[in-house]
Structure 1
Amino acid sequence: MNLKVFILAASTIAVGLVELTVGGILPEIADDLNVTLGTAGQLITVFALVYAISGPVLLTLTAKIERKRLYLLALAIFFLGNLMTYFSPGFLLVMIARVITAMSTALIVVLSLTIAAKIVEPAHRAKALGFVYMGISSSLVLGVPIGILVADHFGWRAVFLGIAMLSVLSFILIYLFLEKIPSERVEPLSVQIKSLGSIKIASAHLATMFTLAGHYTLYAYFTPFLKTTLNLNQYWISICYFLFGLSAVFGGALGGTLADRIGSRKSILLVISSFAVVLFFLPYATFSFPVFLVAMMLWGALSWSLAPPQQNYIIQIDPASSDIQQSINNSALQVGISLGSAIGGVALEHTRSVVSIAHVGAGVVVVALICGIISLTSPYRVKQAGTLKQEG
């Protein structure tokens, strides 16, 4: 695999850590800034919201800027945002810093995806996207434990200073190894938004959103699930999270490799349907801890396997607007995470059973499968070289 793809993946790890690492150190942040735990929790909510919205918008507004220059500029802003968090004396400035880092993170991640897709041969594109998603999933999975570890030894502010230093390393690597990539003509944002009126494209984004929503319906409440079904203590719960995270990290590479071998369309159907089945039967695997670990790791791998074939599929069906569609699909992923957590909470409130939320999550993934089938079977008219071409 191209060295530049690995550098892009490493860069997404560096910037991605900033999103969920806050979740593990909320009490320390709340105490230091003299706010309630609920108020501190808005640092996560606001970040996810700004991230989801700003990616497509910023990609359009910066369309005329050469891609390497834009990447370095976004990394510089990300660095300053984390320094601002480190030095902020109050909650308001920390929140402003979170908005700055959310916007720059969204742009860096989507640039990593779009650049990776351009610097490799089409036959290896899905695999390249898979490696970048390995970086994204790594940061999301490892952010909380790393944040807790660093905060315990050096204080919560040191977490953001460390992330700032990692972004400096990413800046150096991108500057040294990534060649200049010219900007491409991008349709106005209004035109790109209209593309979502296509059932084929909108359904593809919804498939991503509902798959992650189904996943987080259970994953957001994984700790009580493990305590209730397996009576695990904190030590074994930590091991489960570690193994799950390990599986999730390799899920992106799995999805990319699968798409390169059997095609993106078959991969999308295979991953979503398998994910629904595994999620539904996961509670029934708790009769044996070793059996459950196998099922759990399969669940973890599948949770991040959809993104690479889905991104590759989007590029295939609409090359002209592929950059913005990749960004929108990444935003759909973020919305799915928030939606899934909310669905899980409502289901838990009504059923009072952590086991039942696995079935609810599987049901949400079935909705994703339906959306995927609609997208794959719907025609779409794309403009190519001044003509209209019918795509199946």
Structure 2
Amino acid sequence: MDKRVYLLMVIAFVIGLVELIIGGILDLIARDLNISLGQAGFLITIFSLIFAIMSPILLVMTAKIERKTLMMISLFIFLIGNVVTVFSTTYSIVFLGRVISATSGALLIILCLVMAPGLVERKYRARAIGMVSMGVSGAIVLGVPFGILIGEGLGWRAPFVIIAILTIISMAGVYFLMERRTPTPPVPLRDQLRTLKSSKIVFAHATTFLYMTGHTALYAYLKPFLQSSTSLDGTWISVIYFAFGFAAVSGGGIGGTLGDLFGTKQTIVYSLIIFGVIVYSIPYMTFNIPLLFIGVLIWGILSWAISPAMQTYLIDTSPETSDTQQSLSNSALHFGVAFGSLLGGIIIEQTTVEQNAFIGAILIGASLVTAILSIKSTYSVQNHNEWQGE
């Protein structure tokens, strides 16, 4: 494997850290800026929303720019976004920093995914893409405990200082290690969206959106939930987050293995059933910390076990548009993070954080319905060929 692929994985990890890191320091930001937890949670929402929308759009808009130059420019803008966040004194300035970071980060992730396969032999292309994806998923699940660990000791701005330093190191890596690359024309956005005329594909992406929304509605506010329902201190809350993170990372491998052994459809359906039950049950486990810990581990595994099965299902369903489906699946996932954090903030403002698990479980239940509808739908290759003008 070309070592530059690992550089791209590190860049993806750094970008991914910024997305959910707010979840671990919500209370610190809210207290310092004199805002509510819901307003602080919206900083996650805006990042993920921009991330989901802008990735395919920016890739098309920058199609003619040489890739190394584009990556350096994007990393510099990402650095500015984090510097703005570090030196912010008001909520509006933090919000601006998040918008800058999300816009540049959205393009950087796509650039990493596009550039990685070109650095290796054809037989290693899937593995190269997987390495970059691992950086993203690892950052998403470990970003919160990272924020807690650094933020509790050094203040909520400290994690962004570290991210800014890592960004500078990434820029140096790109400058010295990456070669200039002529861009290849991306698939036009309208052609990507045409595949959504298939109900089988639409319900599949809706499944990803709904279960990730349900998951994030609780996960983004897990710290205030634990603070209000248990007597755990900051150290033990960090331990729970780290345990969740490592369980989630392992969940990707477990989900892929289950998909190979039992089939993607069965894995998706049964995982969603257990997922919904465990999220609903989390508030009823707080009376016993060991039981809660086990519940969090199962929740963590299932939160990412569904993704590889769903991605394989999409490839099997529409192999001729597999790249497009992976891109749309990634957007659906980040839309889920955005709306889950927004919904969770609204729930906290209107009721109590304990209700987030109940609403999350309902959304996961809805994702089970869309998954079944997708499985029972028929994907028409003939219609797809008509959309492509064949």
* TM-score bin, normalised by smaller chain: 0.7 to 0.9
Further displaced range: 302-311 or 101-110? 302-311
Alpha-carbon distance in structure 2 between the residues aligned to 1:281 and 1:36: 30
Further displaced range: 333-342 or 12-21? 333-342
**Which ranges in structure 1 are unaligned for 5 or more consecutive residues?**
none
1:48 aligns with 2:48: yes
Alpha-carbon distance in structure 2 between the residues aligned to 1:218 and 1:180: 43
Query: Alignment partner of 2:305: what SS?
Result: coil
> What RMSD over aligned residues (CA atoms) do the two structures have, in Å?
4.1
Q: Do the aligned partners of 2:23 and 2:221 also contact (CA within 8 Å) in 1?
A: no
Deviation at 1:40, TM superposition (A): 5.8
Match of 2:372 in 1: 373
**Aligned CA distance change for structure 1 residues 227 and 14 (closer, same or farther; 3 Å):** closer
Alpha-carbon distance in structure 1 between the residues aligned to 2:345 and 2:158: 32
In the comparison of the two structures, how many residue pairs are matched? 384
Further displaced range: 148-157 or 56-65? 148-157
Alpha-carbon distance in structure 1 between the residues aligned to 2:133 and 2:14: 13
Partner amino acid, structure 2, of 1:378 = T
Match of 1:110 in 2: 110
Partner amino acid, structure 2, of 1:192 = Q
1:307 aligns with 2:307: yes
Alpha-carbon distance in structure 1 between the residues aligned to 2:264 and 2:179: 28
Q: Do the aligned partners of 1:133 and 1:308 also contact (CA within 8 Å) in 2?
A: no
Q: Deviations over 1:43-83 (max 9, x none)?
A: 43432332222112112223344555544442232123323
Partner amino acid, structure 2, of 1:362 = A
Alpha-carbon distance in structure 1 between the residues aligned to 2:339 and 2:389: 39
Deviation at 1:200, TM superposition (A): 2.3
1:167 aligns with 2:129: no
Q: Deviations over 1:327-383 (max 9, x none)?
A: 3322222221233345556777888693x6545433322321232233344314344
Partner amino acid, structure 1, of 2:212 = L
Further displaced range: 337-346 or 235-244? 337-346
Further displaced range: 50-59 or 305-314? 305-314
**Which ranges in structure 2 are unaligned for 5 or more consecutive residues?**
none
Partner amino acid, structure 1, of 2:374 = S
Query: Alignment partner of 1:305: what SS?
Result: helix
**Aligned CA distance change for structure 1 residues 176 and 202 (closer, same or farther; 3 Å):** farther
% identical equivalent positions: 41
Deviation at 1:157, TM superposition (A): 4.5
Query: Alignment partner of 1:13: what SS?
Result: helix
1:364 aligns with 2:363: yes
Alpha-carbon distance in structure 2 between the residues aligned to 1:149 and 1:113: 29
Alpha-carbon distance in structure 1 between the residues aligned to 2:208 and 2:362: 14
Alpha-carbon distance in structure 2 between the residues aligned to 1:353 and 1:160: 26
Match of 2:12 in 1: 12
Q: Do the aligned partners of 1:255 and 1:309 also contact (CA within 8 Å) in 2?
A: yes
Q: Do the aligned partners of 2:20 and 2:220 also contact (CA within 8 Å) in 1?
A: no
**Aligned CA distance change for structure 1 residues 70 and 316 (closer, same or farther; 3 Å):** farther
**Aligned CA distance change for structure 1 residues 72 and 260 (closer, same or farther; 3 Å):** farther
Q: Do the aligned partners of 1:110 and 1:326 also contact (CA within 8 Å) in 2?
A: no
Alpha-carbon distance in structure 1 between the residues aligned to 2:60 and 2:190: 10
TM-score by length of 1: 0.77
**Aligned CA distance change for structure 1 residues 107 and 243 (closer, same or farther; 3 Å):** same
Match of 1:197 in 2: 197
TM-score by length of 2: 0.77
